């Protein structure tokens, strides 16, 4: 790895930046404390002042990773100027795009390998209403508007999340050759998902062209 001329005013932040940049290009399993040491020209003891081991570093990366994920995916869910269905559609596309652009980070955030760390620091019952909490609240708004079936909002949100996670995993892990057709695949998937969640005899209100063609009011 090429060494950079780092100024050690905030060494911990430099370590985090290096780690995040490394994961953008390499699998997280290749990340070691030595990578940080080599990149900054610092000693291992300097790293241990901030991270006692790799798990401590991974914990910080997970926290920063979810911050990045929320910033890039959840704003549409909180945008009350958008139609409800548009919120789901646009957020889902951003979710898939996040996974495509950040495959190693995505696997770290949602994979099994470091689930024990993730579960210690995160909760889907988020007081800031980001991530899953924002999704569940949007589902509840849809129920109040009569657009979505009045079922348990938690389960409906899980179905939506699992669907987005499924297509994202298929794309980044290459289980299916969908990279060239993933946008059409996403639209078809969204139509199927929405059909199952919508209340009967509901007309979709949307400003997204593709959504206007997806569903007609049910008889």
Q: Residue 4: is its pLDDT beyond 50?
A: no
Average per-residue pLDDT for the chain: 85
Q: Could you tell me where the DSSP H helices lie in the chain?
A: 11-25, 33-40, 44-48, 54-73, 75-78, 84-101, 103-110, 115-121, 132-144, 153-173, 182-197, 209-214
Q: What residue ranges define each of the domains in the chain, with the CATH number in brackets?
A: 9-52 (1.10.10), 62-214 (1.10.357.10)
Residue 56: closest CA among 126, 133, 117, 140? 117
Lowest mean pLDDT among 35-44, 96-105, 193-202: 193-202
Q: Residue 21: is its pLDDT beyond 90?
A: yes
Distance CA 40, CA 109 (A): 26
Determine the average pLDDT of the residues in 6-24: 83
pTM, two decimal places: 0.85
Q: For residue range 113-134, list pLDDT tens digits in order.
A: 888 888 887 765 555 546 888 9
Residue, of 202 and 24, whose pLDDT is higher: 24
Distance CA 14, CA 8 (A): 8
């Amino acid at each position: 790895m090429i060494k950079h001329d780092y100024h050690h005013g905030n060494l911990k932040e430099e370590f985090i930046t290096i780690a995040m940049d490394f994961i953008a290009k390499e699998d997280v399993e290749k990340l070691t404390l030595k990578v940080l040491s080599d990149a900054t020209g610092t000693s291992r003891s300097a790293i241990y002042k901030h991270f006692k081991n790799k798990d401590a570093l991974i914990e910080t990366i997970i926290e920063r990773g979810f911050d990045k994920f929320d910033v890039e995916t959840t704003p549409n869910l909180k945008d009350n100027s958008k139609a409800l269905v548009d919120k789901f559609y646009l957020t889902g596309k951003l979710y898939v795009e996040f996974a495509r652009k950040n495959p190693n980070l995505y696997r770290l955030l949602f994979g099994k390998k470091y689930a024990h760390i993730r579960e210690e620091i995160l909760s889907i019952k988020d007081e800031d209403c980001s991530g899953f909490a924002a999704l569940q609240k949007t589902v509840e708004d849809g129920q109040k508007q009569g657009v979505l079936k009045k079922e348990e909002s938690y389960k409906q949100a899980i179905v939506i999340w699992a669907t987005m996670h499924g297509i994202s995993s298929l794309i980044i892990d290459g289980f299916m050759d969908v990279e060239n057709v993933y946008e059409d695949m996403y639209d078809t998937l969204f139509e199927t998902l929405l059909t199952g969640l919508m209340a009967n005899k509901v007309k979709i209100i949307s400003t997204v062209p593709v959504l206007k063609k997806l569903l007609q009011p049910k008889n």
